Amino acid sequence: MLNKSHGPILAGLLLVLAGVGHFLWHASSVVPDSMPASWHIPDEFKVGDEPITPLPLTVSLDARKVALGRRLFSDTRLSRDNTVSCESCHALNKGGVDGLPRSVGIQGATGDINAPTVFNSGFNFRQFWDGRAASLEDQIDGPVQNPKEMGASWPEVVAALEKDGSYHADFAALYQSGIQRESIKDAIATFERSLITPNARFDRFLRGESNQLDGQEFAGYQLFKELGCASCHQGSNVGGNMYEKLGLVENYFEIRGNVQTVDYGRFNLTGNEEHRYEFRVPSLRNVALTAPYFHDASAPTLEKAVTIMAKYQLGVELGDADVAKIVKFLNTLTGEIPPSLHGELAK
């Protein structure tokens, strides 16, 4: 049984896989290295008592706003030179990311941080790695006005969209104010909230379909819990609801070197030394699709990400067998195409 002295270690079990994650100290005795081909869920396992809960199958949103937000999400006129859209960095056919260590903005400018996934972002308690945006609406201000991303101003964006007669009709039907900064943000944020990925195999397992996981995947989940990973990665989004520091046992940034301002994380907002190197815990939903991992994209694979977290969060060299089990479990968190994109990405 864990006691209070474990608190700092468990609190540190999170971090930043691109989104994502953390896991682990080496406890090969917790779960056997191999499970028989035929296996059964232990009698003491109670699905309803698990720290992770299934994503909702649907969310209630205005379908007209979702459709308008979808158009805006892929419209390059939100950028100053008409070359970059939201989808440029959050590709909906690539797990909601671009797969690059740093996204490329207008005029080939390279961003400062690894772009997190847009899928299930509506369930995050804050937006951006450092949590500087309280909502999806607030988050939209960032890329539109960032000189390394879209490099535009809202007056420029509004003026560009007002030249499109089809937008006039759509906005007029939904917003008394018409095409304005706040209505544009509201439509895009509504679309982003529709980007849920329900019915992952693990969700179906939690709903009672025991055949959705094989023995190794279940062993990985048990290890994930017993090592303490679920103390930070829990709930329906398997994370996204707290902050944590990267490098609790070993100084990740000192060893990695070349520390940049962006590495300071939440400290850049608060100036509180306790927040230096602290980031919003990423969701592990669809994590198998969102490489490279961490805010600095230093882990090209899930295996590498799990290994790095073991070393820097817990000071442990995690064995290959345990890494493999955890990765197998993480692969069961890949969900279905967001309902709002049915008929689009399913082609």
DSSP string, 181-228: HHHHHHHHHHHHHT------HHHHHHTT-GGGS-HHHHHHHHHHHHTT
Rounded to a whole number, what is the distance in angstroms from the first to the last CA of the chain?
50
Separation between Cα atoms, residue 128 and residue 137, nearest integer Å: 12
Out of 149, 192, 217, 278, pick the active-site residue: 149
Which helix (H) or strand (E) segment holds residue 156: the answer is helix 154-162
Q: Cα separations (Å) of 202 from 45, 62, 175, 207, 286?
A: 14, 29, 39, 9, 11
* Bridge partners (DSSP) listed for residue 245: 278
Structure tokens at 17: 């896989």
Q: Which is nearest to 235 in space by CA: 52, 21, 10? A: 52
d(CA 15, CA 158): 37
Cα–Cα dist 332/234, whole Å = 15
Unique residue bearing structure tokens 């804050």: 126
Cβ–Cβ < 8 Å for 19, 297: no
149 is catalytic: yes
- Cβ(90)–Cβ(115) under 8 Å? yes
**Which among 257, 226, 160, 177 is positioned nearest to 23, based on CA atoms?**
226
Strand blocks (E) in the chain: 243-245, 278-280
Catalytic residues: 149
